[in-house]
Amino acid sequence: MRILRFRLSSNNIREPQGHAMEQWEAELVEKVRTLARETFTARAEHYDREGSFPHENIADLQQLGIPGMALPTSVGGLGIGAEAHIRIIEEIAYGDPSTAVALNMHLLGAELLSNIPMFARGQEVVQDVTKNGALLCGPASVPTGDLDNRTAGYTIQEDGEDLVINGKSGFASGSDAAKYVIVGGRVPRGEDAEPDLALCLPEKGTPGLNIMGNWDGMGLRGTASHDIVCEDLRIPRSQAAVIPMAVLRAVFQAEGGQGGIMQDRARGALGILAIWLGNAQAAFDFTVDYVGERHGYLAGPGLSGAVTPGFRSEEGWAQVDIGYMDHWLGTGRVILYDMVRSLDETFPSQHEFTRKVTRTVYHLRRMGEEIAVESMKVCGAHAYVKKRPMERMVRDLIGGNVMAWKTDQLAMTLGQGALGMPITITGPAGS
Ligand SMILES: Cc1cc2nc3c(=O)[nH]c(=O)nc-3n(C[C@H](O)[C@H](O)[C@H](O)COP(=O)(O)OP(=O)(O)OC[C@H]3O[C@@H](n4cnc5c(N)ncnc54)[C@H](O)[C@@H]3O)c2cc1C
């Protein structure tokens, strides 16, 4: 008898109450949701197995203006609100987390550029994003196969009217589809002087700019997070933003001196959490479906002896584990969207804002860890096979877990924050 074949799908538990989306935003979220569930989900297996970039998904999202969604309408963007923004990332991740990671890193870059108004080249690139859906990638981490940040990054020398860039950075998510690469580095000013910081936006195909095509992460395999090597890459100085350290320090101090994630620039970080949530929801929905299909123990009732088992959904242990998953998913959703809605509120201090962001990142990380393990525990061997999506979903959840923040470091930050010690939390690019 199949008594427990019900489904706590995302449709039943997902809608946050009292959300602040406008009609057009809700419609856009719905379109992306349909696209992700009807199309991206079906394509995800291929991208994962091949380790290939989801160009088709990105093309579908470009049709909807998603690459420019967070940019202000004054520069041709959609000017989307934070809640709709994060919901869209979550919906994409439900279908294919790799697509969501590549898009999120692009959005982070676009947000960065729109915050440097005097940077002419930056504004030109922003126009290309809003008009044509051009994508950005940002290699700011230690290269994939390397371990030491002392040998990573770019050095930038002035040579006449040009800047000449050399070096290697890694994890440039979306680099297979990006038109522009965000290249940042220090410009030395002599032994006794502080270096300046330079930001350049070379277009792919510029001589000296090499996308290495070497991404080999075991989770989120479709992100094309390749290393990017610059070999005597020449950029006219007029096309770069060269910022003296003293100016950067002044901006830093004006923002409270703590650095890290700021209230008006938190979407990129929260987008990563939305990816974990969408990915976890997909693993949960799969698990709930699966336990309603999986019947009995060994092959054939004869081998099960006196036991007459039914569906796995009828087993208490599976119900308990699904209950744990439900708890993490439900609370993760509430905590993430409470954080997103509070971006418009006034916090008493940057310290209090940082504590809340850290709590949110911590909780969503714990959610990802728990859902990855629980879904495997509940579903077992017959689900952990190539032809079913759970193995990929779990691997993508782990891919999210190895990214940037460390769970125990976050707990330490929370403790220090509660004790009144100065704290900071960095963005998702890590080191
Ligand atoms: C699928 C995927 C896509 C990615 N995409 C990109 C991308 O597009 N661009 C990119 O640049 N990187 C990207 N990354 C890299 C990623 O964000 C991290 O940098 C990297 O994965 C972390 O490496 P690690 O585990 O050795 O941690 P580490 O780099 O050793 O540590 C990260 C930890 O250091 C902390 N930290 C960072 N700076 C400081 C500081 N100054 N003081 C104190 N703590 C600090 C962080 O909070 C975090 O907890 C991606 C990673 C993955 C897995």
* CATH domain 149-247 topology: Butyryl-CoA Dehydrogenase, subunit A; domain 2 (2.40.110)
- pLDDT tens for each residue of 321-374: 999 999 999 999 999 999 999 999 999 999 999 999 999 999 999 999 999 999
**Ligand 1 binding pocket includes 423 (Cβ within 6 Å):** no
Q: What is the pLDDT of residue 152?
A: 95
Q: Is the pLDDT of residue 419 over 90?
A: yes
Run of H or E residues at 127? helix 120-132
d(CA 392, CA 407): 22
Domain limits, the chain: 10-137, 149-247, 263-297+309-418
DSSP state of 16: -
pLDDT at position 264 = 85
Res 325: pLDDT: 98
Residue with tokens 């949960």: 284
Question: Which ligand 1 atom sits nearest the alpha carbon of residue 169?
Answer: 11
Residue-wise pLDDT tens digits, 278-321? 999 999 999 999 999 999 887 776 666 666 679 999 999 999 99
The three-state secondary structure class of 294 is coil
Torsional class of 79: left (φ above 0), alpha (ψ -120 to 50), beta (otherwise): left
Residue closest by Cα to atom 23 of ligand 1: 404
Single-letter amino acid, residue 10: S
Q: 400 CA to middle of ligand 1, Å?
A: 11
Q: Which CATH code is given to the segment(s) 263-297+309-418?
A: 1.20.140.10
Beta-strand runs (E) in 87-152: 136-137
**Ligand 1: centre distance to CA 191 (Å):** 30
**Ligand 1 atom closest to Cα of 102?**
8
What's the CATH architecture for 10-137?
Orthogonal Bundle (1.10)
| Residue to probe by mutation, ligand 1, list 53, 98, 108, 141, most atoms within 8 Å of CB | 141
pLDDT band at 254 (very low <50, low <70, confident <90, very high): confident
Q: Which atom of ligand 1 is nearest to the CA of 149?
A: 29
Write down the mean pLDDT value for the chain: 92
Q: Is pLDDT of 17 > 60? A: no
3-class secondary structure, 243: strand
Q: Is 404 in the pocket of ligand 1 (CB under 6 A)?
A: yes
User: Quick one: tokens of 378?
Assistant: 């509940």
Question: Contact at 8 Å (CB) between 91 and 15?
Answer: no
102 CB less than 6 Å from ligand 1?
no
Q: Is the shortest distance between the CB of 428 and ligand 1 below 6 Å?
A: yes
Please tell me the distance between residue 5's alpha carbon and the centre of ligand 1 in angstroms. Answer: 41
Closest residue CA from atom 48 of ligand 1 = 405
Q: How far is CA 370 from the centre of its chain?
A: 19
- Rounded to whole angstroms, the maximal C-alpha distance in the chain is 86
Model confidence band, residue 246 (pLDDT cutoffs 50, 70, 90): confident
Atom of ligand 1 nearest to the CA of 142: 19
User: In the 8-state DSSP scheme, what is residue 90?
Assistant: H
Q: With contact defined as beta carbons under 8 Å apart, do 209 and 215 qualify? A: no
What is the distance in A from the centroid of ligand 1 to the CA of 368? Answer: 17
pLDDT in tens, 378-418: 999 999 999 999 999 999 999 999 998 999 999 999 999 99
